[in-house]
Structure 1
Amino acid sequence: QPSQLPLCNSPVSSLCVTLKCLPLYNGSVSSLNITLHWHPLYNGSVSSLNITLHWPPLYNSPVSSFCITLQSALCITAQWGAFVHEFSGSLCTTGVPNYRKIPYSENTRPGTVTSTFGLVKPEVNFIVTSQSNYTTSPVNNSYCRDVQDRLLTVSLKKRYSEDYYIQTVNDLQNCTWHKRPEERSKFRLDLSSCCNGVKNFIVSQNNTSVGINITYEVESKKRILITEEIYRMLPKSQPFDGTPFKQCAVVGNGGILANSGCGVEIDQSDFVFRCNLPPTSGNVSVDVGNKTNLVTVNPSIISQKYRKLNKVKNVFLKYVSNYGNSLLLLPAFSYSSNTAISFEVHRVLEKNQAKQKAVFFHPNYLKNLAKFWKGKGVRAYRLSTGLMITSAAMELCEEVILYGFWPFSKDLEGKPISHHYYDNMLPKPGFHAMPKEFYQVLQLHHKGVLRLQIGKCEKR
């Protein structure tokens, strides 16, 4: 809202502003809101304002609008192409109204708004370009409040289409993201009170002891006795020296990461979490980076791809060597069927003096975490690995950025994409509540608790 008071007793009063806005390229929403406080000089001989608005509506965009409000306007005329429309006080359009239906092209004459208070007409130019950059797109605060209101009124009892979520993300992309330390601290306190991931994220010698029985996370009627042998497998304490980390990246495996160019940005993080042994070497590193500090391991991958480590140990060891000095996190105590495979991974890594170390989710942490998210409306057979890791990162890190969190079959422009950046294998239907989880992530993004990176990363 640029404003300027004219000089007292000045014979000329004028305002000159250049405003560059960056609406989403091929986005579903493109809008511009301008409010000018224009005070013609009291008893001045000349006081004038001329606005030329260059507003290219986005091609194929269902909404492309501008809204101009002028205070102290005496007579205002708006011209779009060959059409003239008089208005008083403000002019707002949605798309190109019926009486201004002009095909967009580079040769289309821009709309002009002229308000004359005197003899001289200095200009105020508003230049709008169609180029995507969500972190710098200035949008009216009321617009972002509308987006927030829509997020707050979403019912998690209803099912929403992919298009609804994609539309919502496009809307959020128009609002500049700001981290909000007070919201971040509040959410972190709630998580800590419930789950205390700093002390209980991983089973360690300081949160369990020999001779106790641990109840499995999902199979609540089954228990496992912590023997001396199992106890020796456990780290002495939580293996996260230096916490809280300043900035963490939680890298999901969504197809949205393909061609994102986010690799450099991810690798600049202080701590990088990954899920389910994803590929990071070769051409994909440009998009997903190489750095890994912790990566989860689904025991089913060990069973299916590495035949429970029978006769293919070297293949497994060579693959995980790409993760450097990382922690391999396994759900050894979620299902009883996971235990032997998880212990075998630990044994193979230790016996072969691998740089990677196997650690295990604490089942009590995961059970408490499920209750925490259930209280927020996420009801599923089990939380996704991505949400588990994001939750832990929120306690272990000062700032959290999510990459590759995109459970949809289309990108922001509606183009089909694969489920993962490396394959198109879909999850079991109904096993995870992906849309509801994604909604929670959107909420946290909008509140400034974490940042959700969607689309291409900027070169820094």
Structure 2
Amino acid sequence: MIPFKWILGLMILILFSECLFLAYLTMNKTLRNEQRKNFSNVLHCSVIRQRFSVITSASYLSSDFKSFSENVSELINCPHMSNINQKELYREKLHDCCNATGLLYMTKQNTDVNKKIPYESSAYPSYKMATSIYNMLPEDFSWSGRTLSNCAVVGSGGILKNSSCGREIDTADYVIRFNMAPIYERDVGRKTNLITINPSQIKRAKFDEKRHGPLLKRLKVYGNASLLMPAFASPQNTRLSISTLKKLWPLRPELQVVFFSSSYLKDLDSFWRERGLKAKRLSTGFMLINVALELCDHVHVYGFWPFDTNLQEQNLSHHYFDNVKPGKRNLHSMPDEFLNLLKLHSQGVLTLHLQPCW
């Protein structure tokens, strides 16, 4: 006769085996459900990326903003997929057309004394490079001899206010900013390698020969960044830019004041006109995103959102530092430029940051 304890042990073993089997079935079902969910998410994100990779101005204008914003939110919430082939293809196109690597701004390497510098508009006669100005040009580009892996292009949009993106921005190898924008370290970081100055800012602030102190104080926060000016947009810009160079060079020679190459800007304008951007002038932000795409392996774009509400339908100030809006005479087409940035994000060419960095 089989002892009772053996029978009890066998029953316990059978019960335990059944429990393990049921647990396996449950886990397997959960795993299959999770796999189906992941596959569904991957497929959905693929569809969203494809939709934005072919977005046009007409399709944007034909939809209401709420739907557009919801679609953008879905795109941004999808895991970003970097596409090396697309990046290299785009870099080659930009280099062949415009060559920011060697022509973005004027240096002693790409300019000669007495060289005739054309203006962006053919309405003005050429500027003849004077020896005194040539001697103050940089020898070469600030990135010469460096490998730029991660670059951050930091716009001034209100979407950066309370974003806490500063620490993330400061991890970049190269940081580009615009129009002497104030530094709010928590939201936009502090690191600056290249910053643009609009000559009109110099004029409005009345930084003259006797009052260079306020200008130096304003620029101190940017460290030894290169100060990029559109000197050859007009003769007035030339006068203001050269005046700024002359003021700063003896006082802070390590602070490079550099002048956009008008040839580069005209080539870039033609490049985008062929692709449907018909604004009178590309925005400086859009120009320098293109520069970063040519110079850097990975481009992260912050503060570019040309709308009054964010993805959560909350009102935004125009800039992260004020709510002063542009005048009626607007030379740029910010929404159309932004649509092209969405295309490039969806294609894996760059990364748009439109959410807080918490």
Instruction: Give the TM interval when normalised to the shorter protein.
Output: 0.7 to 0.9
Residue 355 of structure 2 is aligned to residue 455 of structure 1: yes
**Cross-structure match for 2:195:** 295
Tell me the amino acid that sits aligned with residue 210 of structure 1. V
Aligned to 1:397: 296
- The answer as to 2:162 corresponding to 1:151 is no
Give the residue type in structure 2 aligned to 1:365.
Y
- Aligned partner of 2:259 among 347, 351, 360: 360
What residue in structure 1 maps to residue 81 of structure 2? 178
Q: Kindly tell me: are residues 143 and 311 of structure 1, through their superposed partners in 2, closer, same or farther at Cα, counting changes over 3 Å?
A: same
Distance 2:169 2:234 in 1: 32
Partners of 1:412 and 1:167 lie apart in 2 by: 7
> What's the TM-score once normalised by structure 1's chain length?
0.68
SS at match of 1:455: coil
1:423 alignment counterpart: 322
User: CA 1:11 to 1:293, structure 2 compared with 1: closer, same or farther past 3 Å?
Assistant: closer
Alignment of 1:187-226 (within 5 A): 187-226=90-129
C-alpha distance in 1 between matches for 2:150 and 2:43: 31
CA contact (8 A) 1:331 1:361 kept: yes
Distance in structure 2 (CA, Å) of the matches to 1:215 and 1:449: 32
What is the RMSD of the two structures over their aligned residues, measured on CA atoms? 2.4
Contact 1:272 1:292 in 2 (8 A): yes
User: CA contact under 8 A between 2:303 and 2:354: conserved in structure 1?
Assistant: yes
Aligned position for 2:151 = 248
Q: Which runs of 5+ in 2 are unaligned?
A: 1-19
1:267 maps onto 2:167 in alignment: no
Task: Tell me the amino acid that sits aligned with residue 202 of structure 2.
Answer: I
Report what 2:6 is aligned to.
none
- Provide the secondary structure at the position in 1 that maps to 2:232: coil
The SS at the match of 1:249 is: strand
- Code of the residue aligned with 2:77 in structure 1: it is N
CA distance in 2, matches of 1:446, 1:427: 29
**Cα 1:200–1:19 shift into 2, 3 Å:** farther
Letter in 2 for 1:298: N
Q: Are 1:432 and 2:332 matched, yes or no?
A: yes
Counterpart pick for 1:378 among 274, 277, 282: 277
Matched, 1:229 2:132: yes
Aligned sequence identity (%): 37
The secondary structure found in structure 2 opposite 1:233 is: coil
**1:14 aligns with one of 21, 25, 28:** 25
* CA shift for structure 1 position 353: 2.5
Distance 1:16 1:415 in 2: 42
Q: Which amino acid aligns with 2:350?
A: L
| Aligned residue in 2 for 1:119 | none
For 2:315, the aligned partner's letter is P
Q: Would you say the 8 A contact 2:174–2:193 is kept in 1?
A: yes
Work out whether residues 243 and 396 of structure 1, in 8 Å CA contact, stay in contact via their aligned partners in 2.
no
2:212 is equivalent to residue 313 of structure 1: yes
Is this contact kept in 2: 1:401–1:452, CA < 8 A?
A: yes
Counterpart residue identity of residue 16, structure 1:
M
Q: Which shows bigger deviation, 318-327 or 423-432?
A: 423-432
Distance 1:332 1:218 in 2: 12
Which among 320, 323, 327 is matched to residue 226 of structure 2? 327
Q: Indicate the structure with greater strand content.
A: 1
The alignment of Structure 1 onto Structure 2 pairs a total of residues equal to: 334
Please tell me the residue identity of whatever aligns with 1:341: L
Answer yes or no: is the 8 Å Cα contact 1:156–1:377 preserved in 2. no
More helix, by proportion: 2
Identify if the C-alpha distance between structure 1 residues 138 and 215 changes in structure 2 by more than 3 Å, giving closer, same or farther.
Answer: farther
Q: Do 2:154 and 2:301's aligned partners in 1 also have CA atoms closer than 8 Å? A: yes
Check 1:297–1:260 CA distance in 2 against 1; reply closer, same or farther (3 A cut). same
Flag the 1:332–1:165 CA change in 2: closer, same or farther, 3 A.
farther
Flag structure 1 segments of 5+ consecutive residues without an equivalent. Answer: 1-9, 21-32, 37-67, 69-136
| Match in the other structure for 2:5 | none
Is contact 2:138-2:256 (8 Å) kept? no
* Whole-angstrom CA distance in 1 between matches of 2:30 and 2:283: 43
Question: Separation in 2 of the partners of 1:153 and 1:452?
Answer: 17
Partner of 1:407: 306
Shift of 1:165: 4.0
1:139–1:175: 8 Å Cα contact kept in structure 2?
no
Asked if the contact 1:377–1:436 (Cα under 8 Å) also holds between the matched residues in 2, the reply is: no
| Cα shift readout 1:178-227 (whole Å, capped 9, x = no counterpart) | 21111111110111110011000111122121222111013454211112
1:144-177 alpha-carbon deviations (Å, 9 max, x no partner):
2332343244333466254354223212023110
Task: Give per-residue Cα distances to partners, 1:402-446, cap 9 Å, x unaligned.
Answer: 111111110111111101000112224441110110011111111
| Contact 1:138–1:176, Cα closer than 8 Å, also in 2 | no
